[in-house]
Structure 1
Amino acid sequence: MTDAALPRPTARPLAVSNWLLTLCGLIIVMVVVGGITRLTESGLSITEWKPISGAIPPVTEAQWLREFELYKRIPEYQQINRGMSLADFKNIFFWEWVHRQLGRVIGLAALLPLVWFAAKKAIPAGYGWRTGSIFLLVCVQGAIGWWMVASGLTERTDVSHVRLAVHLLTALFIFGWALWTALDLRSAGARPRRVPTLGLWAFAALLLQLLFGAYVAGLDAGYAFNSWPLMGDELYPSAAPWLEPFLRNFVDNPITVQFIHRWWAFVVLVFAVVLARRLRGVSRRHSIFLHSAIGLQILLGIWTLLSGVSLHVAAAHQATAVLVVASFVAGVHRLARVGASASTSLGTSGTEERDYTPLVPSEAEGR
């Protein structure tokens, strides 16, 4: 059966799906800018949270001096950046301001179409709570962002890496939830899909890798060892310090965190290969997407280490993490559709449920 032969969803579910896919695109940009903000140490440059009035950046010299004076009060300036010029401050201020502006844009992009579709009664039955939850999660994410920044304004010279991990994982969860919902809406009849068992295990493995990736970023653990596959001359440096209690090493020890992030990537790769093999006979391009995303991500991770955490390479590594999430979500969703089709076929004496393939509908592919 080819995609061209499959029935397409009606206009209303398709419009809601397109809105959610646009929101996913904005989240990708947000994650990239968030990574640059972190890598340039810009995240603490704005020391106040003004969700509305903060959208207007400083314009006059007096306004810039006020922002700079506020920054001078925090430990990051006093212990690391003392003597920074106003011009240098403007550079780090820029990235944090852009990051917050994108947050506002995403908030509006989540709210305004939701209100419009709800008013037009265009949201299919059963999807009201899902689209509403996406908007609420976007709002919660804004609060988490400030909670993260606040951790570095009084005693620390950087933000809490644990709060950073919560912030990043929440962004990726919103992305995955919005993408899954968009793909559901693009199925014939806008039928929701359940995550198969293999998908649950794959998502769990990926979640753990993303968590340790966030820890690596928050602890600047990428700078600990810039060699691969060995850390220095050993698989794991024997002289590395250990924290007490033991479990703290899996959260607070940069060397342990980098080690786990290095090698858990290959556990995720195994799940990706298994998923791709399942997909190969169903959707070749989903299989290729999954292979390409995980392969590129591992190569970028190694390159990030070898480059000494180059800004451009590290930013590309974080951006590709979102593509890996997208490849897993799209691949698992495709398997879920196949499983639902098989069940429907068995239950209707050979009448197979027909779905609309969400990506590049004009492309035909054999089953």
Structure 2
Amino acid sequence: METSFSKHRPVAIWLFVGVGMLIVQVLLGGITRLTGSGLSITEWQPILGALPPLNQYAWQQAFDHYKEIAQFKYVNSHFTLSDFKSIYYWEWFHREWGRLIGVVFLIPFVWFIYKKRIDRTMIKPLLILFLLGGLQGAIGWIMVQSGLNDEDLYVSHIRLAVHFISAMVLTCYTLWFALKLMVPVKEILAQPHLKKLNILLLAVLLVQLVYGAFMAGLHAALAASTWPDINGLMLPQGMFTQGGFIADITHNLITIQFIHRGLAYLLTFLILLWWWKARQMGAHTLLHKLHFIPLLLVLIQVLLGVLTVLNSKVHIPIGFAIVHQGVGMLLLLSLVSTYYVSRAKENRFGSM
């Protein structure tokens, strides 16, 4: 007789593939932001928009629409049609990958129902998953539409952060669902102290990811390309001069970079503390096998952050910045995984 875990293994693999595709989608979003490509497509056509312009007339029409917004008028007025195509394709690929994610989720979902790989307890979590995916697409379009006017040069970094964090919620939810299908109950250990510290780590990392989105959205690394100091000072000049505390911590480039760096150091210390406690777990446990991953990732993440800052002289180094973002997402997923295996035991779908 087929066991529950072997029966649901294909579904779990499908979900893990979805996690990987969502990570790629977020990275493509980061590239579109750093290349200034996000506003290049001024229409939202879920079906017809699957194909790029196919002839010279269609390309010129798309370019003419782009010429109507502020980004072209005040930033890219020197663009030729060839320049426009270079940014158009990044945004098109970002949207196309989103469509592919929808197909990859929908077709196997129908197949798994037909093959009875999905039972009733899984229907609700999967519906929530689809709703989160649809919400993410809607947030993305609302964000882009907000920048299609005669005033805004770029989409607000606040909206960008909302879009990014909602993508992280969707990705973490998908991972959590997959873990529930793949991790045996015996591997879930009740470790209250590790669990509380893990929750604190997730909370700090959430704030850090928001500030990472601020850094990307405002190109804030260009405000100070030195390390370990910030323009020669540990407490840089220019902080808290934006007119108010909230305005300063959300719009002042130097303040945002200072907070982002400080949170990185705090995260490194807390993860080192968590690692020290988790290493005392029995060598046979899944938690012990996973415990080094967050520490390794946060150290790599800090190194990539330093390299990104040091190479941000005139432009943001896209390669360093995107890998930095990718490792940050992997760090989040690793902490979600360690939290999953250190919480109290519960029913397989009890908390979804």
2:324 to 297, 306, 317: 317
Which residue does the alignment assign to 2:227?
228
Cα RMSD, aligned residues only: 2.4
Are the aligned partners of 2:5 and 2:181 in contact in 1 as well (CA < 8 Å)? no
User: How do 1:73-92 residues align onto structure 2 when only pairs under 5 Å count?
Assistant: 73-92=68-87
Which residue does the alignment assign to 1:106?
101
Q: Can you give the 5+ residue segments of structure 2 that lack an aligned partner in the other structure?
A: 348-352
What is the alpha-carbon distance in structure 2 between the residues aligned to residue 82 and residue 332 of structure 1?
50
Which residue does the alignment assign to 1:205?
204
Which residue does the alignment assign to 2:174?
178
Structure 2 residue 334 is matched with structure 1 residue 327: yes
**1:188 Cα deviation after fit:** 3.0
What is the alpha-carbon distance in structure 2 between the residues aligned to residue 135 and residue 191 of structure 1?
28
Compared CA separation, residues 190 and 181, structure 1 to 2 (3 A): farther
Structure 2 residue 10 is matched with structure 1 residue 12: no
**1:119 Cα deviation after fit:** 3.8
**1:70 Cα deviation after fit:** 0.5
Name the aligned partner's letter for residue 340 of structure 1: K
**1:42 Cα deviation after fit:** 0.7
Compared CA separation, residues 193 and 36, structure 1 to 2 (3 A): farther
Partner deviation per Cα, 1:331-357 (whole Å, 9 max, x = no partner): 222222xx439xx9xxxxxxxxxxxxx
**1:192 Cα deviation after fit:** 9.4
Compared CA separation, residues 133 and 175, structure 1 to 2 (3 A): same
What is the alpha-carbon distance in structure 1 between the residues aligned to residue 20 and residue 152 of structure 2?
33
What is the alpha-carbon distance in structure 2 between the residues aligned to residue 306 and residue 127 of structure 1?
47
Compared CA separation, residues 257 and 149, structure 1 to 2 (3 A): same
Are the aligned partners of 1:46 and 1:93 in contact in 2 as well (CA < 8 Å)? yes
Partner deviation per Cα, 1:273-317 (whole Å, 9 max, x = no partner): 233234322444312211111111111011100011311111111
What is the alpha-carbon distance in structure 1 between the residues aligned to residue 177 and residue 74 of structure 2?
46
Are the aligned partners of 2:188 and 2:341 in contact in 1 as well (CA < 8 Å)? no
Name the aligned partner's letter for residue 122 of structure 1: R
Are the aligned partners of 2:144 and 2:155 in contact in 1 as well (CA < 8 Å)? yes
What is the alpha-carbon distance in structure 2 between the residues aligned to residue 118 and residue 199 of structure 1?
35
Where 1:340 maps in the other structure, the secondary structure is: coil
TM-score of the aligned structures, taking structure 1 as reference length: 0.85
Which residue does the alignment assign to 2:350?
none
2:164 to 151, 168, 175: 168
Which residue does the alignment assign to 2:270?
271
Which residue does the alignment assign to 2:308?
304
Name the aligned partner's letter for residue 53 of structure 2: P
Are the aligned partners of 1:275 and 1:331 in contact in 2 as well (CA < 8 Å)? no
Higher relative CO (Cα under 8 Å, sequence separation at least 6) belongs to: 1
What is the alpha-carbon distance in structure 2 between the residues aligned to residue 158 and residue 193 of structure 1?
47
Partner deviation per Cα, 1:28-82 (whole Å, 9 max, x = no partner): 1112211111111111110111111100101100011011001101100000110
Compared CA separation, residues 113 and 274, structure 1 to 2 (3 A): farther
Which residue does the alignment assign to 2:153?
157
The sequence identity of aligned pairs, in percent, is 37
**1:189 Cα deviation after fit:** 6.4
Q: Can you give the 5+ residue segments of structure 1 that lack an aligned partner in the other structure?
A: 1-7, 345-367
What is the alpha-carbon distance in structure 2 between the residues aligned to residue 210 and residue 324 of structure 1?
11
Are the aligned partners of 1:184 and 1:192 in contact in 2 as well (CA < 8 Å)? no
1:286 to 284, 290, 299: 290
What is the alpha-carbon distance in structure 1 between the residues aligned to residue 186 and residue 46 of structure 2?
35
Compared CA separation, residues 192 and 76, structure 1 to 2 (3 A): farther
